[in-house]
Structure 1
Amino acid sequence: MAFVRRDRPAPVPGAGDTRARYRRILRFAAWNLAVTWWFELFLPRIGLARIARRTRSKRMQGFARNFHLMAVELGGLMIKVGQFLSSRLDVLPPEITRELEGLQDEVPPVPFPAIRALAEEELGARLEQVFAFVEEVPVAAASLGQAHRARLLPADAADTGLANVVLKVQRPGIDRIVDVDLAALRKVGGWLSRIRLVSSRADVPALVEEFAQTSFEEIDYLHEAANAERFEAGFAHDDRVSVPRVAWERTTRRLLALEDVTAVKITEAAALRAAGIDPAEVAPVFASVMFDQLFTTGFFHADPHPGNIFVTPDSAGPGGHPWKLTFIDFGMMGEVTDSTRSGLRKLLIAAAARDGKGLVAAINDVGVLAPSADIVELERAMTHLFARFGGMGFAELREVDPKEFRDFAVEFGDVIRSLPFQFPENFLLIIRAMSLTSGVCSSLDERFNLWDSVEPYAARLLRDERGNLLQDVAQQALDAAAIALRLPKRLEALASRLEEGSLAVANPRIERQLARLDRRARRSASALVFAALLIAGAVVRADDVVLGSVLMAGSVVPLLHGLWAGRRGP
């Protein structure tokens, strides 16, 4: 397409605009905080709590709708705020999260002259000197930037090995808008941190800073380009996955040039069938690739919605995969630490086993629940969840009475919001990624059952970690034995120090208590070693009958010692 004439770009927000934007956000927040204080704090104190309860749902829905309208009008980070808050099930009521779940980048595209001016400023040359052409109509427009198709000049195409690219360009003035929005959000976060009802449930200033870090990363296209290459490296030997290459020579902090990999959008079932690809075969592969990101590589795409994933037919030849999943848009990525990944593996294994209590224990291991959390109700809710809905596919779930779903959702939501916990930012990204994965797979095949993908993956994880399990159990047994051997001497030394001290403690009662403590310590240590060997033997016996039988037989020794140590002395 021919280039347009160099027109005057759209105006960048000035100081007056940013001040008005800042005041608009603060006015909205202040008014809604005042309304919340009146209904949720003041009226209950004067005996009118019934009025607050009766109007709560309507007020929450009104707040969410008004925020939605303001976010669409202002654009910038306000849309991102809505998307971020929609996943804060631990902070916000469902009336708000449901309304904000549908908040997308509903903003008009920036006129091409303004995009041209910014791109030429970044490149230091006119577009005609760098590209053979750039399409003026954007492929996609979002609150932070928009994308245009382009073609490199023949010389650059020969050097880079790329011809057609997609240019992702920041919205002009977005840096200033982000700064203003974050300043307003920090102000509101400071207000909220002074309200006990809020501060007891969430560290709002910390949430704002998490959000700020994510936002700065999203508008740094050099960071996104590095993410793309890191993601590609994680699947370098996987013929199911492809990633667009980066044209680094034409990439800056505000301009990103990626290989144009546009193909069939993953949820376009008719187009997939026309290309000879069965959508039902795509679903389990996509689920498996997402599991690999979360539980193996530890670096995952946090926004795998249908617009960010293509299915590309592959003509690489016999023996290879006939099509690839092509991921794009690496601005929102998540990273799973080793400790979190271990907890997530336990969580996945518990989910595959439909073990509600085990699932809660795994959630606790991840560090989501506060130490003071009373998890009895959560265990009961999880057990109920698995007993009633565990293992059902999307098609089966559609046949369940909607009222039963609603009743359980209300009950489960109340349990979640009553617990003292707060999801870390990356844990929210994990939940977002898995939620989108489930939705995409169900749209590909309504009979798709996520459990069918979870169970073999969990079994493989269990096999992979079984070798480490024996080592861990053996180490725990040795540690317990060492403690058991050292404990009597420590107790004797403690008794000696007490007897030699200034306090008269050498009396029969103290001696009897120390003797009982000594026997209990010996018995507990022996019981721990016995249980460790017995469990290790039972696990290993499935693969190695001889070793498993030896371990189980060996567990008799600490058992007998525990019985002997438990005998009452003279």
Structure 2
Amino acid sequence: MADVGNTRARYRRILRFAGRYMVQAWWYELFLPRLGFGALAARGRARRLQTIARRFHVLAVQYGGLMIKVGQFLSSRLDVLPPEITKELEGLQDEVPPVAFPAIRTLAEAELGVPLGRAFEWVDENPVAAASLGQAHRARLTQADAAETGFADVVIKVQRPGIEAIVDVDLAALRRVAAWLSRVKVVRDHVDLPALLEEFAYTSRQEIDYLHEAQNAERFAADFAGDPRVGVPDVAWERTTRRVLTLEDVTAIKINDVDGLRAAGIDPGHVAIEFADVMFDQLFSNGFFHADPHPGNVFVTPVERGAGEGGKAWKLTFIDFGMMGEVPDGLRHGLQQLVIAVASRNSAKMIESIRAVGVLLPSADTNELERAMTALFARFGGMGFAELQKVDPREFRAFATEFGDVVRSLPFQLPENFLLIIRAVSLTSGMCSSLDPEFNVWDAVEPYADRLLRDERGNVVQAFAREAASTAAVVARLPRRLDDMITRAEDGRLVADAPKLEQRLRRLERMGRRAVSAVLFAALLISGAVLRAEDLFVGTVLMVGSVIPLLHTLFAGFAGRQGPGD
């Protein structure tokens, strides 16, 4: 990595790289087409874009810092960059050499306030992992700390020295590049670069705050408390600061180590199904998800059970909670509807869901997209990864080109947090396919969508039950209230206000009718459900017929409330 003190040279190098290829893009994409050489410029476009991405890859590995994060970030921006670039960058990993241990020791001791020899029984000087923002070393807690935390073996994650200054320099350079690009109309009309950069800056600053990561780990653990499928390392808070994070060592079989899984008696295909299900729970149920579930961040941990419990089992253990995403309630409901639409191959509902989550702008004409989605489901719906590999590449390429042209012609954008959702889903899909080439994502999506539908129906039933209970309570109190009113009339204590009395009588009458409808709905629904097992037709007719009294129960009286005086 470049010398931390040489920040000015780093800043200039990044700007030179960006400026060079911006000029090249202007020459080929704007100037030559105006001279009538558009076909010539288009002929070498794919090769030029691949060259740019390859050279950026080299720059990122050489400089480290945020440059690698930029590559990973851009590789997910399918709405911004062409596939020639995203494909080249999607394999970019933290390919930087480790920092010498003396520098790591100095930073860790300054943060912890004590020598490492007093903070830990021992620390392995060879890193277990080195990344662009920090690196990790195995260690063991002292006996006193181990007794307090309940575990002894730990992994210490330490920031790379000077990384905050490097992040500041990189962000300054990127803001300058974004300002240049924002002056280009074709870019300005399709991409809000300043907002995109601030989204990236926010994510990056969170990732170098280890106190924030520790809190993420505890929140993730709370979401899966009591769930035997998921494990999370505990935090040693006494040995954790903003720049040093100490976690329980939970190293086990890497999730993509197929040979290791089989040697432990674990079926990789079962791991793929479980992993997909756990990720779906994070995205569509919990609303808080691991946005970087690559192979280095997920282990399969064998768990010994008693003889009466089925012998050996396993769980998925997640680490590295620096990059986490949140899905607001409204967006999560939209995503649930999208999953249901995909599972049912319903193109119209899928497009409606995409619009609801804010991806498609209101002005989008979706007729062509719906036609393309219908064709997509008809031709490739239900196919797994292995089946898709058997499709004629020419057919697949032609369809992808046509479908891509339709998508690119639409005004769409990714709402906040959607970038991390796409990243998580892409990594999950790739991981499952690597574990089991026969893995079919439809097999994972369909039962999950079915579960979402059941939950959705359950919520509707619960809402109705609350309404019915409220109505029943009023009806139950009605005879007593009428008796009290008659008694007061006999005693001469009844004061009549004709308009209000008539109004209340009308309301009581409506409540009575709604109560009868509620009872009728329950009777038809329950009898239909019971008879359906014996006589499908009669049971179905009764259940469908129950909708009429249900609608009356829920909506009767609305018109009356709008009248004057109500």
SS at match of 1:386: helix
Quote how far apart the aligned CAs of 1:408 are.
2.1
Q: What is residue 300 of structure 1 aligned with on the other side?
A: 289
In 2, the alpha carbon distance for the partners of 1:111 and 1:408 equals 51
Q: What is residue 491 of structure 2 aligned with on the other side?
A: none
1:98-154 deviations in whole A, cap 9, x for unaligned? 111111111111111111111111111111111111111111111101110001111
Quote how far apart the aligned CAs of 1:473 are.
11
> In the alignment, is residue 277 of structure 1 matched against residue 273 of structure 2?
no
1:124–1:401 CA distance, 2 compared to 1 (3 A):
same
Q: What is residue 291 of structure 1 aligned with on the other side?
A: 280
The residue identity in structure 2 corresponding to 1:99 is E
Q: What is residue 336 of structure 1 aligned with on the other side?
A: 327
> In the alignment, is residue 253 of structure 1 matched against residue 242 of structure 2?
yes
1:411–1:542 CA distance, 2 compared to 1 (3 A):
farther
Paired residue for 2:423, among 432, 435, 441?
A: 432
In 2, the alpha carbon distance for the partners of 1:281 and 1:93 equals 35
In 2, the alpha carbon distance for the partners of 1:277 and 1:206 equals 45
1:189–1:11 CA distance, 2 compared to 1 (3 A):
closer
Quote how far apart the aligned CAs of 1:63 are.
1.2
Paired residue for 2:124, among 125, 128, 135?
A: 135
Quote how far apart the aligned CAs of 1:48 are.
2.3
Q: Give % identity.
A: 68
In 2, the alpha carbon distance for the partners of 1:153 and 1:223 equals 25
Which segments of structure 1 move beyond 3 Å, counting only runs of 4 or more? 316-321, 467-475, 540-548, 552-556
Q: What is residue 459 of structure 1 aligned with on the other side?
A: 450
Q: What is residue 529 of structure 1 aligned with on the other side?
A: none
1:45–1:122 CA distance, 2 compared to 1 (3 A):
same
Q: What is residue 403 of structure 1 aligned with on the other side?
A: 394
Q: What is residue 369 of structure 2 aligned with on the other side?
A: 378
Q: What is residue 42 of structure 1 aligned with on the other side?
A: 31
Instruction: Check the 8 A contact 1:269/1:444 in 2, yes or no.
Output: yes
1:288-338 deviations in whole A, cap 9, x for unaligned? 111110111110011111111111111244548821110001111110110
In 1, the alpha carbon distance for the partners of 2:192 and 2:97 equals 34
Q: What is residue 264 of structure 1 aligned with on the other side?
A: 253
Instruction: Count residues with an aligned counterpart.
Output: 485
In 2, the alpha carbon distance for the partners of 1:299 and 1:118 equals 32
> In the alignment, is residue 69 of structure 1 matched against residue 65 of structure 2?
no
Instruction: Check the 8 A contact 1:381/1:412 in 2, yes or no.
Output: yes
Paired residue for 1:412, among 403, 407, 411?
A: 403
Q: What is residue 318 of structure 2 aligned with on the other side?
A: 327
> In the alignment, is residue 393 of structure 1 matched against residue 365 of structure 2?
no
Further displaced range: 464-473 or 76-85: 464-473
SS at match of 2:44: helix
Report matched runs for 1:58-457 at 5 Å. 58-317=47-306, 318-319=308-309, 322-457=313-448
Instruction: Check the 8 A contact 1:12/1:173 in 2, yes or no.
Output: no
In 1, the alpha carbon distance for the partners of 2:2 and 2:334 equals 50
1:542–1:50 CA distance, 2 compared to 1 (3 A):
farther
1:12–1:241 CA distance, 2 compared to 1 (3 A):
same
Paired residue for 2:45, among 56, 60, 64?
A: 56
The residue identity in structure 2 corresponding to 1:353 is S
In 1, the alpha carbon distance for the partners of 2:418 and 2:21 equals 28
Instruction: Check the 8 A contact 2:289/2:326 in 1, yes or no.
Output: yes
Further displaced range: 63-72 or 75-84: 63-72
In 1, the alpha carbon distance for the partners of 2:7 and 2:236 equals 34
Instruction: Check the 8 A contact 2:96/2:131 in 1, yes or no.
Output: yes
> What do you get for the CA RMSD once the two structures are aligned?
2.5
Instruction: Check the 8 A contact 2:159/2:208 in 1, yes or no.
Output: yes
Instruction: Check the 8 A contact 1:89/1:417 in 2, yes or no.
Output: no
In 1, the alpha carbon distance for the partners of 2:424 and 2:73 equals 13
Gaps of 5+ in 2: 467-523, 531-538, 553-566
Quote how far apart the aligned CAs of 1:471 are.
8.3
The residue identity in structure 2 corresponding to 1:28 is F
Q: What is residue 549 of structure 1 aligned with on the other side?
A: 545
Give TM-score scaled by structure 2 length: 0.81
